[in-house]
Structure 1
Amino acid sequence: MPTLTRRGALGLGAGAAAAVGLAGCGTLTPSDSSTHAGGSRKPGGGPTHTARPLGDGSTSFTGKQPHQPARPEPLEPGQEPPQFVIFSWDGAGEVGNGLFPRFLDLAKEHGASMTFFLSGLYLLPESKKRLYDPPNNPRGASDIGYLNDDHVRATLTNVRRAWLEGHEIGTHFNGHFCGGYGTVGNWTPQQWKSEIAQAKAFVKEWRTNTGWTDLPALPFDYDKELVGGRTPCLLGQDNLLPAARELGWRYDASSPGGRQIWPEKRQGIWDLPLQQIPFPGHRFEVLSMDYNILANQSINSTKAPAYNYPGWRQQAAQAYITGFQRAYETNRAPFFIGNHFEQWNGGIYMDAVEQAFKHIAQEKEKEKGADVRLVSFRQFADWLDVQRPEVVAKLRTLEVGQQPTGGWKEFLKDTTAASATATASQDAA
């Protein structure tokens, strides 16, 4: 299996299951140690309709998801675009270290939404592992560990809470194969379709697979909820996209490293990659993911000497904050951050993410500050989809750290005005 390289590094993408020094292999272990984002919060914290069980009752239809932002609207002529920030979590398994509820609490405190890329295997008991038939790998195989029953239950509880509080449940697929013959980097579109179908089935059939009847159903229809994901180690996007397009996905977050510029579509799907951001104290940049920062600090070691921790914690936090500020003060490109519920190097990366989150949230909450929105990938895709194509194309002309010539009012004036005129003419006709 390939090891992570320094500088940009491959995305680990293992959710809470990464091995020391490997690109997303190993077992998941416990730790050693309101206004809503993007719009006004709608009243009520839970479903407003009677739940309608789906399938075996593992999931249910409960109506429109609570705590969603107001309907997005196109930018007005000359209007400054919002600064979108998306925090995402690979794997989204809760293993008793309290990290899943910790960040749900943080998001709730600041009226933010996030995306949780759930690994399907985290809802499948190890005793039933032979239900998983991974492409090009033995039945039941996985390069991440299966969770014990207590942790499956905790994951179910937190996934349910996440959706009810307005967060998105995407997918991180299943077995997280990053090397050898069975790597996801070699899978065909048909094999990706099989992997996705299985990831969905493990979510939709957890009650059958576990035999549990004392936990409530997940309050969403996963066939409709699932509109995007992130592949293990950021591999295999080229062959994933045809399958994702056929399944009606809206976006994919699997590109192996992007830049802080406005996104574009690939094969009809929004390509929303992790990004290269400034790395304090270095001339090179680092990918906006906790494990990639770790790989550059401790050369893939998740248990480096503790005397390094204070400096590394601050360096990681400043990398995120500097990346945010660079976009916020210049081209307003959306900022994407990837994380894992892990206590690597004493938990410093979780502390760094929280510090950066609070810094960004303070900008959002300033009375006279610009429009900062802490949203999910799905909510951001909603906003992109209502923008005029020529406006997004104009935004894409801004390079990393480039301010709009003449300010936003001047920069977007002609494009949006022309679009508005054309739309008015069509409406009149």
Structure 2
Amino acid sequence: MMAATKRFTFGVTAAALSLALAGCAGSADPAGGGQGGAHGAKKNAPAGAPKSAVRLIGDGSTAYTGVQPLQPVPHKLKAGEKPPQFVVFSWDGAGEDSQRLFSHFRRVGQKYNATMTYFLSGVYLLPEAKKNLYDPPQHSAGRSDIGFNDAKGIKDTVEQIRGAWFEGNEIGTHFNGHFCGKDGGVGTWSKEEWKSEISQAKSFVKNWKTNAALASLKPLPFDYDKELVGARTPCLEGRKNFMRAASEMGFRYDTSGVNDQIWPEKQGSLWDLSMQLVPVPGRAFQTLSMDYNFYMNQSGATRGDEDKHQYWGDQMRDGLVQAFQRSYKGNRAPLIIGNHFESWNGGTYMRAIEDTIKRVCTQREVRCVSFRQLADWLDAQDPQVLAKLRTLKVGEAPKTDWAAFLAPGAAAGPAGHAPAAHAPGAPDAARPAERH
């Protein structure tokens, strides 16, 4: 079904925000909509379009259904206008399993006015019986370090992807076999090998009906060749050659790097929307803004003492909230957060993320957006204004006020701030690679 499109600006009033927070819809129906709208406006349930509006693509696994619903219309900052505070919540290897965390966080997003990016692993739409269709670079056909799926898992995942897209969320890619390390890991892949991996990830999305013998199900409501504009690499490895491949294949951004909380810039044709270093409350270092990295620092990426689970979750939440506050009250740089649908340490990190969403996405002048929406806004800005914003260091507010700082012809600010890869005294803990 085609969903009726409702478009919003990023500039939203507090009254509109309060309306958006008044309701929460938990329907998993892709046309069921929900009431927690994107970017400060109340979502209405998308209306069904005539069947003639749907144009099937290929075997019918995907379809063109029109412009994606509930997308904000970015506007260029007016002279001296204070930028909004963007926050991006994203999910690596997004799929629905028995934990039902995908469907749960869809409801959380609706409730707290948060649009997100879901990085789908292509092999989650490929059944075990057809695993040899995957021919990974530097590995034998049918090999995957995260396995494959079964018919029920594929059906459930497709249902969540479809619903998430109709609710305004973005569907990116986490690629396929999730190979890390030196033995054939993604960090060793060439540009051409990355192109093969990307093409195969697209193929599994575009042919899931045939591969899983699920021809009677509804298609995914988008053309994946056009929908797919960004990614995060497994373990944050292989970024250089991936970006070379992605630039030639029409991608718009990458989020596989490590940076401080400063305003993004482009590397070549791609927006560098890297993961960020955030505080670890009570510790003398920062870590990556991802659930796995707190899990690694707290219990060595193994199940730790149950008596500490509550504390560890609170520590992650408080670290993310501190990172939010230093941007919100400082340079207003977008905050980038990555997660997995996992119940590590008793699910404490899922609780931490939900608490963070609840605390930050409900505040004034905050826009919880997808990476694609952030890239849209960045593309709409005056490059000189973005360059001026990049002169602000982590947590640094303008020395005057925003109106004077961003006024036309205002003097250039302090020199830019180079990313701090490691914190003193903790060279390994500051940025362990994302491994899951």
Aligned counterpart for 1:374 among listed residues 365, 368, 371 = 368
2:88–2:336 Cα contact (<8 Å) kept: yes
Specify the code of the residue in structure 2 equivalent to 1:378.
R
1:362 equivalent in structure 2: 362
Secondary structure in 2 aligned to 1:275?
A: strand
Specify the code of the residue in structure 2 equivalent to 1:62.
T
1:48–1:63 Cα contact (<8 Å) kept: no
1:47–1:66 Cα contact (<8 Å) kept: no
2:379 equivalent in structure 1: 385
1:223 equivalent in structure 2: 225
Q: Distance in 2 between matches of 1:399 and 1:36?
A: 32
Q: Distance in 1 between matches of 2:119 and 2:252?
A: 14
Q: Distance in 1 between matches of 2:410 and 2:120?
A: 38
Report % sequence identity.
Answer: 53
Secondary structure in 2 aligned to 1:89?
A: strand
> 79-88 vs 179-188, which deviates more?
179-188
Q: 1:40 Cα deviation (Å)?
A: 3.9
Q: 1:148 Cα deviation (Å)?
A: 2.6
Specify the code of the residue in structure 2 equivalent to 1:254.
S
1:42–1:68 Cα contact (<8 Å) kept: no
Secondary structure in 1 aligned to 2:378?
A: helix
Instruction: Count the aligned residue pairs.
Output: 376
Q: 1:114-135: per-residue Cα shift (whole Å, max 9, x none)?
A: 0000000000001100000111
Aligned counterpart for 2:69 among listed residues 59, 66, 69 = 66
Aligned counterpart for 2:88 among listed residues 62, 82, 86 = 86
2:186 equivalent in structure 1: 184
Q: Distance in 1 between matches of 2:41 and 2:357?
A: 20
2:211 equivalent in structure 1: 209
Task: Map 1:308-327 onto structure 2 (within 5 A).
Answer: 308-327=308-327
Task: Map 1:128-167 onto structure 2 (within 5 A).
Answer: 128-167=130-169
Matched, 1:258 2:259: yes
1:37 equivalent in structure 2: 38
Q: How large is the Cα RMSD of the aligned pairs? A: 1.6
Q: 1:48 Cα deviation (Å)?
A: 3.8
Matched, 1:395 2:389: yes
Q: 1:39 Cα deviation (Å)?
A: 5.6
Q: 1:316 Cα deviation (Å)?
A: 1.0
Bigger RCO of structures 1 and 2 (CA < 8 A, at least 6 apart) = 1
> 215-224 vs 409-418, which deviates more?
409-418
Q: 1:325-377: per-residue Cα shift (whole Å, max 9, x none)?
A: 111010000001000000011000000000011001221xxxxx3x1001000
- Flag structure 2 segments of 5+ consecutive residues without an equivalent: 1-34, 413-436
Q: Distance in 2 between matches of 1:221 and 1:46?
A: 20
Structure 1-normalised TM-score? 0.85
1:227–1:378 Cα contact (<8 Å) kept: yes
Q: Distance in 1 between matches of 2:384 and 2:183?
A: 43
1:261–1:400 Cα contact (<8 Å) kept: yes
Q: 1:89-139: per-residue Cα shift (whole Å, max 9, x none)?
A: 000011110100110001111222100000000000011000001111111
Q: Distance in 1 between matches of 2:225 and 2:201?
A: 11
1:297 equivalent in structure 2: 298
Q: 1:214 Cα deviation (Å)?
A: 2.8
Q: Distance in 2 between matches of 1:191 and 1:47?
A: 41
Distance 1:416 1:59, change over 3 A: farther
Q: Distance in 2 between matches of 1:77 and 1:92?
A: 40
Secondary structure in 2 aligned to 1:405?
A: coil
2:400 equivalent in structure 1: 406
